[in-house]
Amino acid sequence: MYEIAFQQLGYRMSFTDLETIVIEHLR
């Protein structure tokens, strides 16, 4: 479910911003 949500956000938000959010969560 998380993957689908991230994909939907990726289409709406810029991919660069999405990467930043993912990296922050990974840290």
Contact present, 6 and 18 (Cβ < 8 Å): yes
One-character DSSP codes across 2-21:
HHHHHHHHHHHS-HHHHHHH
pLDDT at residue number 10: 66
Global model pTM greater than 0.75:
no
Q: Give 1-19 pLDDT, tens digit per residue.
A: 677 777 777 666 666 777 8
pLDDT at residue number 14: 64
